[in-house]
A = this chain, B = another copy of it.
Amino acid sequence: MLRVAIAGASGYTGFELVRILSHHPQVDLTTITSRQQAGQRLDQIYPAFKGHCELTFANTDPEILAANADLVFTALPHQAAMDIVPELLKRNVKVVDLSADYRLKDSKVYEAWYQPHKTPELLSEAVYGLPELHREQIRAARLVANPGCYPTSVILAAAPLLDKGLIEHRSLIADSKSGVTGAGRGVSLSVHFCEVSDSFKAYKVAEHRHTPEMEQELTHLAGEAVCLTFTPHLVPMSRGILSTVYATLREETTADHIDKAFAAFYREAPFVRLCGRGELPTTLQVRGSNYCDLGWRVDERNRRLIVVSVIDNLTRGASGQAVCNMNLMSDMAEELGLNYAPWQP
């Protein structure tokens, strides 16, 4: 049994980690921490867990975490992660970090979109935890930077196309729509039920911090700089992201090339399901699961490809993917603890 801990377990991604780990056959969840909730039992503040987790929140202290875990999930806000991750690595604990702090390879890019980085030397070591792109490196990693929710949905939609050089890079647009859990469990007017319900909006258009993360990975795949337009929107639902990705086809590209590129790229991927050309997935069909379902369609009238990608933002977009990374880092089967059917409806 692998001993694991969660640092910062009182938000939605923390709860989702507890949910998944409490059923994982080879994991012993020993410790959960939270600054605000320290001293309280999880099942008191979250009665859903009664009978499934009897842990009490500890303070977020690297000493305690390292004493009780072989691997720690850090589900802290960015900047807070930077303080604790190096302390854990020093104590020979493996880390899956769910913040943005170790996702970008270039500290200058990080600092342009976020704030000064305290341990830039770790950036080259950290592995970007998207198994479909970096499976082998994840297996060998001490530190995995778990991808953002939007980047997961967008990169998986575009990767086969860039990998095979089927599209014009400059034409890439990702129009993404997310459920409200993506905004976290903190309170604010923007997540007030009555401001969200029966409404729809765009936000942080062309300035969302997930942009450089997408560009880093897509650039890597394309072999040349990719600069995309990214527009996030808020959907009046709790869970799910749907990304509609647009690209102009290169002159020689046929619809058949696209079908083959997707099939080849995801041949070995247990958590990508291809709906195929013309069949488009809904967020409901992946709810609660680690799947990314992909469909696409070619608009021959103007040679444009539209790829639709759906994930559950809390599972594939955060905690499910983190557990998948843990599995790989610990020499377990990639699907362990995650191969259940989506929640319907």
Interface residues of A, Cβ cutoff 8 Å to B: 12, 15-16, 18-19, 22-23, 46-53, 170-171, 173, 175, 177, 179-181, 185, 187-189, 191-203, 205-206, 227-229, 231, 233, 235-240, 242, 244, 246, 273, 275, 279-288, 291, 293, 297-299, 301-302, 304, 306, 308, 310, 339-345
A199 near B23 (CB under 8 angstroms)?
no
Q: Is the CB of B52 within 8 A of A341?
A: yes
Please indicate the chain B residues that have their CB under 8 angstroms from the CB of A200 in the complex.
Answer: 177, 179, 235, 237, 240, 242, 282-283, 310
Most buried by B among A48, A236, A282, A297: A48
Knowing A52-B341, A273-B51, the reply to whether A197 touches B197 (Cβ < 8 A) is: yes
Chain B residues contacting A205 (CB-CB under 8 Å) are 280, 297, 299, 306, 308
User: Could you tell me if B283 and A181 are in contact, using CB atoms closer than 8 angstroms?
Assistant: no
Q: Which residues of B contact A240 (CB under 8 A)?
A: 198-200
Chain B proximity of A308: nearest CB distance (Å):
5
Asked whether A181 lies within 8 Å of B198 as measured between CB atoms, the reply is no
Q: What residues of B have a CB within 8 angstroms of the CB of A345 in the complex? A: 12, 181, 194-195, 197-199, 238-239
Q: List 5 A-B contacts (CB under 8 A).
A: A52-B340, A179-B194, A200-B240, A202-B308, A206-B297
A178 to B31, CA, bound (A): 37
User: How far, in angstroms, from A341 to B19 measured CA to CA in the complex?
Assistant: 6
8 nearest A-B residue pairs (beta carbon):
A199-B284, A206-B299, A201-B282, A52-B341, A48-B285, A198-B237, A175-B175, A187-B187
Given contacts A280-B203, A286-B48, A343-B343, contact A237 B197 (CB under 8 A): yes
CB distance from A290 to the nearest CB of B (A): 11
- Determine the distance from Cα of A185 to Cα of B47 in the docked complex, in whole angstroms: 26
Q: State the CA gap A206–B195 with chains docked (Å).
A: 29
Shortest beta-carbon distance from A189 to chain B in Å: 6
- Contact: B287 with A198, CB < 8 Å? yes
How long is the Cα–Cα vector from A246 to B189 in the complex, in angstroms?
29
A120 to chain B, nearest CB (A): 23
Q: How far is the CA of A185 from the CA of B284 in the complex (A)?
A: 15
B282 contacts A199, C-beta separation under 8 Å: yes
B193 touches A185 (CB 8 A): no
Q: Taking each of A22, A194, A342, which has the highest tally of chain B beta carbons within 10 Å of its own beta carbon?
A: A194
Smallest Cβ-Cβ distance to A198: which chain B residue? B237
B175 touching A302, Cβ below 8 Å: no
